């Protein structure tokens, strides 16, 4: 299962939206590596859609920074600069920790039940687990926090930064295998963060979220 399969299967969206998410998935997971030439006809065949959804998806991906367009050479998957990862994580640490505080302050009862179910699932998770599955699990938790913070502008910003960091991570972890996070570390941090959110402990939730992001950022600095 791809990292975002559940996301686009569940979404009630337009054909262009589904095409965009599938292409974004392939770019983030480097199934379409940096520098890949994106030909409309090939994408139409691959996605089994018409020209208009493909063009709309490519326009959005260009806006997101995943695609670059050259008038003479064509449309390409954008290059990745691993050094950007530390800058992205610096931004994520500040914004994401604030979103986690908001989640703890704004959590409703039905969302608390959803969080408890997620905590139970995390506690029952065992390894070994493939990298893409670890990152997909991590993403589920983060997107839950973004949603519960109840700020659509914050959600969009955080989701964009998370997608950027995921893509760079896929490239970086192939070059620096020591960056691959241990499953038990990911689970430990996520459970503590969700439990703090469930308690409504905004200070602790914010602190854990900040530490979670910054600890990985410090590991990145060691190898880049």
Query: Is residue 145 scored above 80 in pLDDT?
Result: yes
pLDDT at 68: 96
Q: What tens digit of pLDDT does each residue of 66-109 get?
A: 999 998 899 999 998 888 888 888 889 999 999 999 999 999 99
Q: What tens digit of pLDDT does each residue of 148-171 get?
A: 999 999 999 999 999 998 898 888
pLDDT at 96: 94
Q: Are 28 and 166 in contact (CB under 8 A)?
A: yes
110 or 185, greater pLDDT: 110
pLDDT at 171: 84
DSSP string, 79-115: P--TTHHHHHHHHHHHHHHHHHHHHHHH--HHHHHHH
Q: How far apart are CA 30 and CA 167, in angstroms?
A: 7
Contacts with 171 (C-beta within 8 Å, 6 or more apart), sequence order: 30, 34, 80, 82
Overall average pLDDT of the 192-212 stretch = 96
pLDDT at 13: 58
Instruction: Name the CATH architecture for the domain at 5-77.
Output: Orthogonal Bundle (1.10)
Query: Is residue 17 scored above 50 in pLDDT?
Result: yes
- Segments making up each domain of the chain, as ranges: 5-77, 84-223
Q: What tens digit of pLDDT does each residue of 27-57 get?
A: 999 999 999 999 999 999 999 999 999 999 9
Overall average pLDDT of the 2-25 stretch = 69
SS3 state of residue 172: helix
Direct distance between the N- and C-terminal alpha carbons of the chain, in angstroms, rounded to an integer: 30
Query: What are the structure tokens assigned to 155, written together?
Result: 């959600």
The reply to whether omega before 18 is within 30° of 0 (cis) is no
84-223: what CATH class?
Answer: mainly alpha
């Amino acid at each position: 299962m791809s990292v975002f399969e559940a996301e686009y299967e569940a979404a009630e969206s337009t054909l262009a939206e589904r095409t965009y998410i599938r292409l974004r998935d392939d770019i983030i997971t480097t199934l379409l590596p940096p520098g890949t030439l994106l030909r409309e006809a090939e994408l139409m065949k691959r996605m089994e859609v018409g020209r208009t959804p493909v063009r709309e998806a490519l326009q959005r991906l260009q806006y997101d920074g995943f695609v670059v367009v050259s008038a003479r050479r064509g449309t390409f998957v954008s290059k990745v600069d691993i050094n950007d990862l530390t800058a992205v994580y610096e931004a994520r640490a500040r914004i994401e920790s604030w979103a986690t505080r908001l989640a703890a302050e704004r959590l409703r009862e039905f969302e608390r039940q959803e969080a408890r179910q997620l905590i139970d699932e995390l506690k029952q998770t065992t390894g070994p687990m493939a990298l893409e599955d670890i990152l997909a699990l991590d993403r589920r938790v983060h997107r839950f926090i973004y949603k519960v913070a109840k700020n659509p502008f914050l959600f969009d910003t955080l989701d964009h930064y998370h997608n950027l960091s995921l893509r760079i991570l896929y490239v970086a972890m192939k070059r620096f295998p020591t960056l691959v996070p241990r499953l038990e570390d990911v689970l430990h941090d996520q459970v503590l963060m969700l439990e703090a959110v469930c308690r409504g402990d905004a200070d602790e939730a914010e602190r854990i979220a900040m530490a979670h992001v910054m600890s990985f950022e410090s590991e990145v600095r060691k190898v880049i």
